[in-house]
Amino acid sequence: MSRQSFKICFCFRRIFKLRALEPPEEVKVLFDQYSQNGIMSLDDLRGFLVEFQGEYSATREDAQAIFNSLKHLNIFSRRGLHLEAFFRYLLGDLNGPLSAGVHHDMTQPLAHYFMFTGHNSYLTGNQLSSDSSVEPIIKALGKGVRVIELDLWPGSKKDAVEVRHGGTLTNPVDLLVCLKAIKDNAFQASEYPVVITFEDHLPENLQAQVAEMVTKTFGDMLYRPETDQLQEFPSPESLKKKVMISTKPPKESKTSSKKEQWNGEAAASKSDIETSDKDEVDDGENLQEDEEEMTVPEYMHLISIHAGKPKGGLQNWLSIDERTVRRLSLSEQELENATRRHGTDIVR
C-alpha cells in the first residue's frame, strides 16, 4: 500500500491510500495448481501456458521472456514467480486478451460477445490528479481495446466540450483531439467495431456541438441505426471498421417546451396587437425554437447503443421490453448478486 497527498482548496492536505490490487480467489487457486511451495518455476510457467492458456507452441524461451519482463519488480524472485508476480503477468502486455486470429463465429448479435473494454480511457495515471491525453487512448486501441470511455464536460467558458474526470484534480483534453485519435487508430489492431461510450454532463447546446464533431470526424465510419428501437444488435462481422456511440439518450428539452408555451400565449394575444414588428418577433422566436428542438434529435441519432438503468430495482431492470435492446450498466457487485437469483434473465 502506498500513500499520496493532494492539496485541497490550497488550504490543507488530504492523504489517500492507494491499495494494491489483490489477486482474486480464482487466480490463487490457479497459481497453487501450477506452483510448488509458493514458487512457479520456468517449467511450471510453461506448463501453465500450454495446458491452461492453450498456447501449445510455447517454449521455455517464451516462459523466460515472461520472467525477464518481471525482473525489474521487487516482487520477482530468482527461483521463480511468487503469486503477486504471476498476477502482475496476467494483467500485463505479455498476456494480451486477443489471440493472433479469430476462431469464433462473429455473425451473432453484438450482445453475445465479451468486449475488451477501457475505463476512463484518457487518463495518463491515477484517477485523482493525472493528466488527460490522447496517448492512453492510442495505446489502448493498439492493444485491441474495443470500448473507449470519454467523460464529457463543459469547458471553463461553457462554450466548448472537454474530456476530464469530473470532481477531481485531473487536467482536461479537448474532445475533438480524442475523436481524431480514435479515428486514426481504431482499426490497426482489429477490424471489429469500436464503441465510444460518452458519460455525458453537457447542456443541450453542447450536445449539438458533439453531434457535429462526431459526424464530421467519422463520416461513413459512424454506424447510425435506422431506428432507435433496435430489436437486435448487429453482428461484429457486419460492423467491421464501424464506430458506434453509446450513451444515455438526452432528456426532452425544457427550454423548447417553455418557448412553445410562450409562443402559444403570444399567438393568442396576436388579435389584440397586430403590427408588422410583432410578426417579425414571432417569426424569430419560432425559428429559434425550431433550432433548439433540432439539437436533441441530431444528438439522439448518433446513439446506436442506448444506455441507462430503468427506475426501480433489479426486477424493473430485468423486465426491460424484450423487443428493444440497450446497455445496462451494473457494478461488479450488483452483477454478482443478480446472477445468483436471475442468471437466466441476465443472459437474456
Burial 288-317 (b: 16+ CB within 10 A, else e): ebeebbebbeebeebbbbbbebeeeebeeb
* Residue listed under C-alpha cell 490497426: 188
Which entry of 82, 165, 301, 306 is annotated as an active-site residue?
A: 165
| Lowest-pLDDT choice from 18-32, 34-48, 282-296 | 282-296
Angle between helices 83-90 and 25-33 (to 10 degrees): 110
Q: What are phi and psi of 220, to 5 degrees?
A: -75, -10
* pLDDT tens figures, 235-273: 999 999 999 999 998 876 544 444 434 344 433 433 343
Measure CA of the first residue to CA of the last residue in the chain; give whole Å: 40
| Banded model confidence at residue 13, pLDDT cuts 50, 70, 90 | low
Is 82 part of the annotated catalytic residue set?
Answer: no
* pLDDT tens figures, 174-199: 999 999 999 999 999 999 999 999 99
Q: What are phi and psi of 151, to 5 degrees?
A: -95, 120
> What is the predicted pLDDT for the residue at 11?
60
Which entry of 82, 119, 301, 306 is annotated as an active-site residue?
A: 119
| Lowest-pLDDT choice from 22-31, 201-210, 297-306, 326-335 | 326-335
| Whether the predicted pLDDT of 337 surpasses 90 | no
| Whether the predicted pLDDT of 94 surpasses 70 | yes
Triad 197, 199, 204: Cα angle to 5°: 110
Q: For the chain, give the percent of residues with pLDDT over 70.
A: 77
> What is the predicted pLDDT for the residue at 270?
38
* pLDDT tens figures, 117-129: 998 999 998 888 8
* pLDDT tens figures, 321-334: 566 788 888 888 88
Q: What are phi and psi of 117, to 5 degrees?
A: -120, 135
Is 103 part of the annotated catalytic residue set?
Answer: no
Q: What is the DSSP letter of 158?
A: S
> What is the predicted pLDDT for the residue at 259?
40
| Lowest-pLDDT choice from 90-94, 113-117, 237-241, 317-321 | 317-321
Query: How far is Cα 271 from Cα 278, in angstroms, rounded to an integer?
Result: 11
